[in-house]
Structure 1
Amino acid sequence: MSSSNQWDAKWEVSEDLAHKLISSQFPQLASKSVQKLGHGWDNTVFLVGAEYVFRFPRREVSINRLRMEGKILPKLKDYFSIAYSLPIFFGEGDYDYPAPFLGYPYLSGEFPIGLTDKQRALSATTLAQFLKSLHAFPVKIAQENGVQHDHRNLTDIAMRKEKMHTFISGLALHFNEEEHRAISNYLAQLRTERVKQKYVFLHGDLHFKNMLVDVNGRVSGIIDWGDIHIGHPSCDLNVAYSFLPPDARSDFFKEYGDVDEETKILARLIAIYIPILIMMQAIDDKDERLVDEAKTNIKRALAD
């Protein structure tokens, strides 16, 4: 992997710095412990006491995304019953750390890593109901609050295919021959180059690192809303392929509602594309557990 990656941090936030920023701006939390939980591309995450989670941007691009979360997420509370990251602490940069940060109630649960197909199937209806309600959030209200339209040009399948060829070439040593051939064959058989744009309100980055499950493996919470935007529903519907086994997808789409074939084609592509990106960072972080889960997500998305 290159020494300079998209996910590299511009600002590293230590536990000591996080504690200083939190305790100085929210004195009621000053006595609580601060423990680093991990990081993604955009944010470093800390557990504060046992009750709260705080997220601190790692890159400049994350600042406006975090501010948008703070603005729009409180407006979603009447749209679905599933737990989600609802900010209640709004912090600003200090001590030479230049970015805002947010604090949320801690959501119990684990990442859906290593689940059986039977466990995954339990969430088909839950996920469909959640996304149906989320995608019904009025686009007009989102626009009035500054939510942007698709900034990643997701409907351009040809461009995404080209990127994926480059990615899997660089990851060749991390796929066995059968895995590499399955992805290559899928891309070769994918003839659609672009789909017609649609406009709904989106989570924008729905994958296994942004979902929580309970002790039974049922989806119980949705976190990390930094990629909120208005765009094609397939961006979120990718979980029907990356998360759910093939025999649970009919239940998902029955609950969600009619979805045209173009949308399903793009949703499956994104269901393969996102885990490849997760896999790249996980390899760089030497996190074999995430590498393995990303690969199983890809295999599941390729399965009919």
Structure 2
Amino acid sequence: MMSSNQWDAEWEVSEELAKKLISSQFPQLAEEPIKKLGFGWDNTVFVVGDDYVFRFPRREVAIKALRMEGKILPKLQDYISIPYSIPLFFGEGDFGYPAPFLGYPYLSGGYPIGISDKQRSLSAKKLAQFLRGLHAFPVHVAEEYGIQEDHRNLTDIAMRKKKMLTFLSDIAVHFTAEENRAILAYLDQLRIEKVKPKRVLLHGDLHFKNMLVDEDGGITGIIDWGDINIGHPACDLSVVYSFLPPNARSEFFKEYGTVDEETKLLARLIAVYIPLLIFMQAIDEKDVRLANEAKANIQRALAD
């Protein structure tokens, strides 16, 4: 049976299968307990003992991305100022499982769900330093490792608008009339169809499910680099609008550096678009907590 949603798994990875794969290829971890932590669109995640996290692709499209991660992520250490997922274990498919898998050090923290604007503001400078460093990584080196160009074509504003209007028609019942009007009014005032291309190394999917924070709301880690690519910095700068409240954005850009208005326009659009996708998945899976956070991200992105 074919998947009906973009996020549906093409194959499942149970705790039993994950344990067999890890134990057979990394005997030093054979006695460690394994627990399923969760899953995203592309990977299922397991905690192994107290020190490691393993990611297993759940869709064919994720395999190439995972291999790219294994090559490029260890090379970023001199450029990145926030702890991130550096692979230590490189596994291959077995026991009927068709994909490679990676193991990383466990990064402490939880998703930034329900934290206050004041807590978010505390990370403005730290996020800016992180992205300034990442975006300074030499593009030609990334190309040598096979990192692909903007594979999701996020710079095509006209296409994003069209997709979002379709999404909204499908899930309008889950928004209030006022919330729907706010999103539609925002989309209606967009007049640019496509921005001028720019080329930096990107995390590629920087939203609240790929960020970790401590109990005070401070950023402790950046995870899930499966969409790493070369493209427009706005794709990562969307976090300025989805994560940071309006009064913290000037501090971010003061630290990150000057950004033109076209880049800001695209960043805000992506800050609405990606949480809308997360919202749709959360509704499908009846995850009220994630749905509420995704909606809050959209509302924050629309705020000035």
Q: TM tier, shorter chain?
A: over 0.9
Q: How does 1:1-304 map to 2 (within 5 A)?
A: 4-304=4-304
* Whole-angstrom distance in 2 between the partners of 1:129 and 1:81: 7
1:136-157, CA deviations, whole angstroms, 9 ceiling, x for partnerless residues? 0000000001001111111110
* Whole-angstrom distance in 2 between the partners of 1:270 and 1:196: 15
1:186-222, CA deviations, whole angstroms, 9 ceiling, x for partnerless residues? 0011111111000000000000000001111011100
The one-letter code matched in structure 2 to 1:299 is: Q
* Whole-angstrom distance in 2 between the partners of 1:29 and 1:265: 47
- Name the SS for the 1:129 alignment partner: helix
For the structure 1 residues 3 and 86, does the alpha-carbon distance in structure 2 shift closer, same or farther, using more than 3 Å as the test? closer
* Whole-angstrom distance in 2 between the partners of 1:80 and 1:287: 32
* Whole-angstrom distance in 1 between the partners of 2:250 and 2:139: 27
- Name the SS for the 1:274 alignment partner: helix
Tell me the TM-score normalized by structure 1: 0.99
* Whole-angstrom distance in 1 between the partners of 2:285 and 2:39: 10
List structure 1 runs of 4+ shifted beyond 4 angstroms. none
* Whole-angstrom distance in 1 between the partners of 2:3 and 2:104: 33
The one-letter code matched in structure 2 to 1:171 is: I
Alpha-carbon offset, residue 3 of structure 1: 6.6
Tell me if the contact between 2:81 and 2:129 (Cα under 8 Å) persists in the aligned partners. Answer: no
Structure 2 gap segments, 5+ residues each: none
Tell me if the contact between 2:89 and 2:104 (Cα under 8 Å) persists in the aligned partners. Answer: yes
Alpha-carbon offset, residue 158 of structure 1: 0.6
Alpha-carbon offset, residue 81 of structure 1: 2.5
1:113-161, CA deviations, whole angstroms, 9 ceiling, x for partnerless residues? 0010000000000000000000000000000010011111111101110
* Whole-angstrom distance in 1 between the partners of 2:100 and 2:136: 29
* Whole-angstrom distance in 1 between the partners of 2:76 and 2:194: 31
* Whole-angstrom distance in 1 between the partners of 2:81 and 2:265: 29
User: How many residue pairs get matched?
Assistant: 303
Tell me the TM-score normalized by structure 2: 0.99
The one-letter code matched in structure 2 to 1:58 is: R
* Whole-angstrom distance in 2 between the partners of 1:127 and 1:182: 28
Query: Over aligned residue pairs, what C-alpha RMSD do you find?
Result: 0.9
* Whole-angstrom distance in 1 between the partners of 2:173 and 2:26: 47
The one-letter code matched in structure 2 to 1:125 is: K
* Whole-angstrom distance in 2 between the partners of 1:96 and 1:206: 32
Alpha-carbon offset, residue 284 of structure 1: 1.2
* Whole-angstrom distance in 1 between the partners of 2:283 and 2:23: 35
Identity over aligned residues, as a percent?
75
Structure 1 gap segments, 5+ residues each: none
* Whole-angstrom distance in 2 between the partners of 1:149 and 1:205: 14
* Whole-angstrom distance in 2 between the partners of 1:301 and 1:262: 16
